[in-house]
Chains A and B, each alone.
Chain A
């Protein structure tokens, strides 16, 4: 497992992608920090710049995730990994940890900011580091999602584009959910759209119409039954569901200085879920 971890880490810094990822994040962090903390606004709360940095991290994370599994498949090197005495689980986990390690580099550098700021004024360290922790967990989640997309595709470019779109959807999901009327019928329709998307993902994973349709049908029937039983519960339900899905929105409590255990648990479990799904997607390839 350590061998794969080392290999992946080296791979990021043997080509441009690792440096590019770190550089872009640090560049934007520098710009935001200058703007909010050192020149225009002079606030001592790092959360302001981190909140702006979120979209940057989302948009650059495909740089790390696009190749992580798709490249092995494209170059047929996955056959080597399968034939080595390593389990798929340890390989995928090692790959994920390598990505998180690369992500840790800019986060550690950003952790220096509060100390610099402290020399100019009073910084609430607890609050600042809780923001950084929340931000780090959010980014790790995104990497897991990206890895899952990479595991589903065979082509790095396709993987990058899908990840990119997914990241945008995650970022804007809050605003999108607010645009949809809160009445129960609109919620019903919006959730149906989500179920169709889920069906498409299932189809991509198992390449089986029947299975995908079955999953869609089951969810839709359950949805319809609940709709029959209790229409009022559907009011504003879509926004609530999006609230669960939106990784980005979850960060808010950290920015407010609340060391939110449920959010930590949320981030960890989403990461775990997508790492698990990636393992399944890779494992599944052997059975196709």
Chain B
């Protein structure tokens, strides 16, 4: 289990991470999402002890990464953004070195290396120099390194970068299979990837955690009900009919093509049947009707936009009440917009 408490990292005057706190439970895959420069790598580097935090704590299986680095690091396998491979070694030598450094017993090491090379698909290149391997293979060697010693927690910084589509599928399956015995914490800026394999998604933007939930819940929370329909008929008649439907929110015409109109409707409740009857009453036939759920891309954009607009509002209000600011702002802790039910339950459990 990883516990990150109020992590802050400053590089000179620039603050890369602005007070992130979260908990990572055992046996799940966590996705860490954010645009470039959001602070993902910095956070992961701090979690693995590669960087020291300006403020805050990282506790891994009860060991603080600064106070007891050895114990904490024994539980971690880490694949940084660039695979940290030695060019003059072969994958076999490299993995043996990592195994020895992690303190894996000699008798177990050879078996482990064989297993892991098989899992990551690098058995064929085991005796070639890493400098002669392609980016995809180096990435896999890096991943194999993170698995050596089978640490409880595996932290992967953008593990899919540089892989071809077939390899991506293989690695995805591999990561999914790791879930049984390990906790996986991976970062990515490709949202579809994360939604496919992660049990929990944390969205980070501009050094702050803005959401944390299961991919499904995230899309449900934010998208509300949105209908995409394709109707045959005249646009005018269709629009007037739709406006008559109870509970309709915004109506936008997406496209008109050869008498088929594509429309997007937002609403508070499920109004599919109302829409159906309204359109059938004017004899406009529905070619397609679907409840569109938002993709993580949309959620992401929406959340980051929200964050920005909130900040703007804050700035405006702070300008209005210049004198009143100061102390209150400092005390203010950032709370994520959503926390998953699991976490809520955890909190209740803690209180009990």
Do residues A286 and B52 form an inter-chain contact, with CB atoms below 8 A? Answer: yes
Chain B residues 84 to 139 lying within 8 A of chain A, measured CB to CB, are 84-89, 93, 97-98, 100-103
Do residues B50 and A11 form an inter-chain contact, with CB atoms below 8 A? Answer: no
Assembled-state Cα–Cα distance A83/B86 (Å): 15
Do residues A83 and B52 form an inter-chain contact, with CB atoms below 8 A? Answer: no
Do residues B97 and A82 form an inter-chain contact, with CB atoms below 8 A? Answer: no
Q: How far is the CB of A21 from chain B (nearest CB, A)?
A: 16
Q: In the assembled complex, which residues on chain A have CB atoms less than 8 Å from the CB atom of B48?
A: 79, 82-83
Given A2-B100, A79-B80, also A286-B70 (CB < 8 A): no
Would you give the 0/1 interface string for A1-32, flagging 1 where the beta carbon is closer than 8 Å to chain B? 01110110011001100000000000000000
Q: In the assembled complex, which residues on chain A have CB atoms less than 8 Å from the CB atom of B145?
A: 80
Q: How far is the CB of B157 from chain A (nearest CB, A)?
A: 9
Q: How far is the CB of A90 from chain B (nearest CB, A)?
A: 10
How many residues of A are in contact with the other chain, CB < 8 A? 24
Do residues A85 and B70 form an inter-chain contact, with CB atoms below 8 A? Answer: yes
Interface-central residue, B51, B80, B101, by most chain A CB under 10 Å: B101
Within 8 Å by CB of A85, from B87, B88, B89, B102, lies B102
Chain B residues 277 to 322 lying within 8 A of chain A, measured CB to CB, are none
Any chain B CB within 8 A of the CB of A204?
Answer: no
Do residues B93 and A84 form an inter-chain contact, with CB atoms below 8 A? Answer: no
Any chain B CB within 8 A of the CB of A34?
Answer: no
Can you list 30 A-B pairs with a CB-CB distance of less than 8 A? A2-B100, A3-B97, A3-B101, A7-B86, A10-B89, A10-B93, A14-B89, A15-B88, A75-B86, A75-B87, A76-B84, A77-B84, A78-B84, A79-B45, A79-B48, A79-B50, A79-B78, A79-B84, A82-B48, A82-B50, A83-B50, A84-B98, A84-B101, A85-B69, A85-B73, A85-B74, A85-B102, A87-B69, A87-B70, A286-B49
Assembled-state Cα–Cα distance A76/B100 (Å): 20
Would you give the 0/1 interface string for B132-170, flagging 1 where the beta carbon is closer than 8 Å to chain A? 000000000000010000000000000000000000000
How many residues of B are in contact with the other chain, CB < 8 A? 30
Given A85-B74, A288-B11, also A80-B98 (CB < 8 A): yes
Given A83-B49, A85-B70, also A7-B97 (CB < 8 A): yes
Any chain B CB within 8 A of the CB of A287?
Answer: yes
Q: In the assembled complex, which residues on chain A have CB atoms less than 8 Å from the CB atom of B102?
A: 84-85
Q: In the assembled complex, which residues on chain A have CB atoms less than 8 Å from the CB atom of B80?
A: 76, 79-80, 83
Any chain A CB within 8 A of the CB of B76?
Answer: yes
Q: In the assembled complex, which residues on chain A have CB atoms less than 8 Å from the CB atom of B51?
A: 286
Q: In the assembled complex, which residues on chain B have CB atoms less than 8 Å from the CB atom of A201?
A: none
